[in-house]
Amino acid sequence: MPSTDTQNCACGRPSGDDAYVCTGCADHTRAALRHIVDGLDADLTITLAKQDQIGDPNAGHETKPTKASEAPLPLNLRAVEARSILRNTLVTWVRIVHSDGSSTTSIPGDTIDAMARWLLPTVGWIRHRGYGPEFVDEIGAAVAQALRAIDLAVRRVPLPTTCTQIRLEGLTPISCGGALHAVVAPGLPIDGQVRCEHDPAHTTTVADHAAEKQKAHNQKRRLRARLTKGLL
């Protein structure tokens, strides 16, 4: 274990608190894991099946393959490889972190989304483990490869409002309050989605989100009008 608070991160910056990974690299890793939670696997799956093609790549050409070996492959091999590496990386680190005694006790489901969601809250703890730099490097590399494999103009635009979906804490209904972003992906089924960082089940569309926002505004306006009338 390091003996002073001058321990340097692999990026060269001092961690500042005797950790093996600085807070900046930890934040980048959390952002990479959030990419997965926010639907990176779904985007990969679409690309993998070549559903991301907007038009026929052979349009305008009269020639067709004459041999089976010349026919286009039904899968995007870059996406297949990237998804396999991403999944294997997450499986490996879930096992390591769990066996090393993370405060998170139960193993997550074996889906890519579930494993990324499970690892997210452990990043702060992993900063202080000797394998922290390797974790940061491998997660970052796997997500970067997946994003390159998608090779689409997919953008996630943060929204200035929070999620208004209602969830239960015990028997108490509360507003979710998760940060929201809009997905801009022309030609893909995910284009126009609004996703919540707290709960992927709260995914909606830009139009529906705007309608919900207007509905909430109208309710507040009616309530203020009733209160004002009651004070007169």
| pLDDT tens, residue by residue, 138-153 | 999 999 999 888 765 5
Tens digits of residue pLDDT in 26-80: 999 998 998 898 888 888 888 777 655 433 333 333 344 444 444 454 567 888 8
Which pTM value belongs to this model? Answer: 0.58
Q: What gap in Å lies between CA 113 and CA 148, rounded to an integer?
A: 18
Residues 33 and 78 placed together within one structural domain of the fold: yes
Confidence of residue 11 (pLDDT cuts 50, 70, 90): confident
Residues 138 and 170 placed together within one structural domain of the fold: no
Q: What gap in Å lies between CA 200 and CA 218, rounded to an integer?
A: 27
For residue 65, tell me if it sits in a domain. Answer: no
The rounded percent of the chain whose pLDDT value lies above 90 is: 25
Could you tell me the residue range of the domain that residue 217 belongs to?
155-232
Torsions phi, psi for 108 (to 5 deg): -75, 175
Residues 122 and 20 placed together within one structural domain of the fold: yes
For residue 222, tell me if it sits in a domain. Answer: yes
The 10 Å CB-count burial string (b at 16+, else e) for 136-170 is bebbbebbebbbebbebebeeeeeeeebbbebeee
Classify 16 in phi/psi space as left (phi over 0), alpha (psi -120 to 50) or beta: left
Residues 167 and 141 placed together within one structural domain of the fold: no
Residues 229 and 127 placed together within one structural domain of the fold: no
Q: What gap in Å lies between CA 4 and CA 7, rounded to an integer?
A: 7
Residues 116 and 182 placed together within one structural domain of the fold: no
Tally of domains within the chain: 2
Query: Where is the domain boundary, 152, 183, 210?
Result: 152
Among the listed residues 116, 79, 216, the one whose alpha carbon sits nearest the alpha carbon of residue 224: 216
Query: Where is the domain boundary, 121, 152, 183?
Result: 152
- Token pair recorded at residue 119: 């690892």
C-alpha 232: how far from chain center:
51
What is the structure's pLDDT at 172? 75
Residues 41 and 99 placed together within one structural domain of the fold: yes
Residues 85 and 178 placed together within one structural domain of the fold: no
CA angle centred on 113, ends 92 and 135, rounded to 5°: 35
Q: What is the mean pLDDT of residues 106-114?
A: 90
Q: What gap in Å lies between CA 171 and CA 125, rounded to an integer?
A: 31
What is the structure's pLDDT at 104? 59
